[in-house]
Amino acid sequence: MISVIMPTYNEEKVLPGTLQALFAQPGTFEAIVVDGGSTDRTCAFVSGLAISPQSSVLGAVRLLTAPKGRASQMNAGAKQAQGEWLLFLHADTVLPAGALQRLNEMENDSTIQAGGFMHQFSGDDWRLRLISFLDNFRCTRSRIIYGDQALFVRRTLFERLGGFPNQPILEDVAFCEKLIKRTNPVLLFPPVITDARKFLTMGVWRSFIRVLLIILHVEYRLPVLPRVFFQDVR
């Protein structure tokens, strides 16, 4: 079974669509939403208190809470998970068709211990396609899987590695740096689709520079980037 763990914070705009797409997937899985103190209707939606007819979700979702921060929230979800696979899915990211069934089929293959998906933004803006291309190129070289690539890892290995390090930013990179010392993560295609609204809101070129600096920081161990690079955009 797969445990799909979704950290949320004020995600009422995209979460209904993501969950609807999730529960349209065939396969054996559980869904765990871990909220970090949302002030909008995220928790109400997950609790079933404010589901609109346009975004109804056919499936059960477990709602947990944890201190805000993706590492804290994802670790809390992993502790309650029951699946062989832990799949960490952002609230604005949709899995490709058949992804969960594919992971179910991979459960008995012990040579596969972890992996993620190639990445693509929604829409057809060529600048966003360029960003995804560079990110995918980086990932195929380094096998460092970013959070919006739907990282999946066997629960036993995740626990042996101590989960995500308790740091406010780049927890996905820090975890994968430990992960690739133990296994070679697989990269699956078709890609996940991430809602482009945050990049459009911030400005595509500004977002591009932001991503480029993060990549350079990770690849060449540049000084720690300021927190402004990781500000919340909703």
**Whole-angstrom distance, CA of residue 163 vs CA of residue 72:** 10
- Structural domain boundaries enclosing 67: 2-125+142-196
pLDDT tens for the chain, 234 residues: list them. 999 999 999 999 999 999 999 999 999 999 999 999 999 999 999 987 334 444 444 467 899 999 999 999 999 999 999 999 999 999 999 999 999 999 999 999 999 999 999 999 998 899 899 889 988 998 999 999 999 999 999 999 999 999 999 887 789 989 999 999 999 999 999 999 999 887 787 777 777 777 677 667 666 666 655 555 555 555
157 in a structural domain: yes
Q: Please list, in sequence order, all residues whose beta carbon lies within 8 angstroms of the beta carbon of residue 69, skipping any fewer than 6 positions away.
A: 36, 166, 168, 171
Q: How many domains does the chain fold into?
A: 1
What is the pTM (predicted TM-score) of this model?
0.88
18 in a structural domain: yes
202 in a structural domain: no
Going by the DSSP 8-state scheme, the letter that residue 222 receives in this structure is P
Query: From the CB of residue 51, how many other CB atoms can be counted at a distance below 10 Å?
Result: 15
Domain CATH for 49: 3.90.550.10
